[in-house]
């Protein structure tokens, strides 16, 4: 997404945990696209993370016109098998910090002639998923929050879009230790640059909801027609673990 924006000559503010990786990406973006790419290394699972991002933007007097909440990960396993802290940390990254960033950054976005918020959800948002219970719930939260915020801001200069991708060939599987479904992810996963291009194009077209990939569109639509119990059984079979 950073490359997709940089190709449109947007200067960038990059936020993630690894300062070393951020420095490398910043240099690459600046060299390839001739844009400015400042960065802030911070753990977005920290309760104060959003406030620090906002303070950094204010201190740098950055004219922010696009906010992309893309950070997120999954905790895989039955609810009881994982610690409460693991669950809560994921919820902070997937849901609480994006909400806080929207709240903090909205006044800055409203200062620009036209601004955009892109929140990243998932096709997991369209059904309950056992062994990914809180991940799916957090993504459903982001989807509903984004649609509500869009309605509140529909007469303003800020457009809100929610991206709901299916499997994407990133480090998601390894981060969640979900190697058991690696073959399925490899078969149906989309390339990150393809998803990013679709997302950024849809955001600038002010779409409310973006589901990349025809198969993902169909599967999301079917969740509205098929009984929930059947959808949930299919999801449970797909993401089941070896836990007793």
Annotated catalytic residues are 135
Does an H or E element contain 163, and which? strand 158-163
Phi, psi of 150, rounded to the nearest 5 degrees? -60, -45
Phi, psi of 76, rounded to the nearest 5 degrees? -100, 135
Distance CA 188, CA 169 (A): 9
DSSP label at residue 64: -
- What are the tokens at 3? 């490359």
Phi-psi group of 55: left, alpha or beta (phi > 0 → left; psi -120 to 50 → alpha; rest → beta) = alpha
Contact assessment for residue 181 and residue 239, using Cβ atoms and an 8 Å cutoff: yes
Distance CA 179, CA 184 (A): 10
Q: Considering Cα of 136, then 138, then 139, then 143, what sign does the dihedral take?
A: positive
């Amino acid at each position: 997404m950073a490359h997709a924006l940089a190709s449109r000559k947007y200067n960038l503010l990059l936020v993630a945990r690894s300062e070393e990786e951020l420095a490398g990406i910043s240099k690459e973006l600046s060299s390839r696209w001739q844009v400015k790419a400042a960065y802030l290394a911070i753990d977005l699972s920290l309760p104060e993370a959003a406030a620090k991002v906002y303070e950094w933007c204010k201190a740098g007097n950055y004219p922010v016109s696009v906010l992309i909440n893309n950070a997120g990960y999954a905790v895989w396993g039955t609810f009881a098998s994982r610690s409460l802290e693991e669950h809560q940390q994921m919820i902070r990254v997937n849901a609480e910090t994006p909400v806080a960033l929207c709240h903090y950054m909205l006044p800055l976005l409203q200062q620009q002639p036209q601004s955009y918020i892109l929140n990243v959800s998932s096709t997991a948002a369209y059904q309950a998923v056992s062994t990914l219970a809180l991940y799916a719930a957090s993504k459903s939260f982001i989807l509903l929050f984004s649609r509500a915020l869009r309605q509140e801001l529909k007469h303003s200069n800020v457009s809100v879009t929610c991206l709901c991708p299916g499997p994407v060939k990133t480090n998601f599987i390894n981060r969640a230790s979900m190697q058991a479904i690696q073959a399925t992810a490899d078969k149906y996963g989309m390339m990150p640059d393809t998803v990013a291009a679709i997302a950024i194009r849809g955001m600038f077209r002010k779409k409310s909801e973006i589901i990349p990939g025809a198969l993902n569109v169909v599967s999301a639509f079917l969740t509205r027609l098929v009984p929930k119990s059947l959808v949930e059984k299919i999801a449970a079979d797909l993401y089941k673990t070896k836990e007793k």
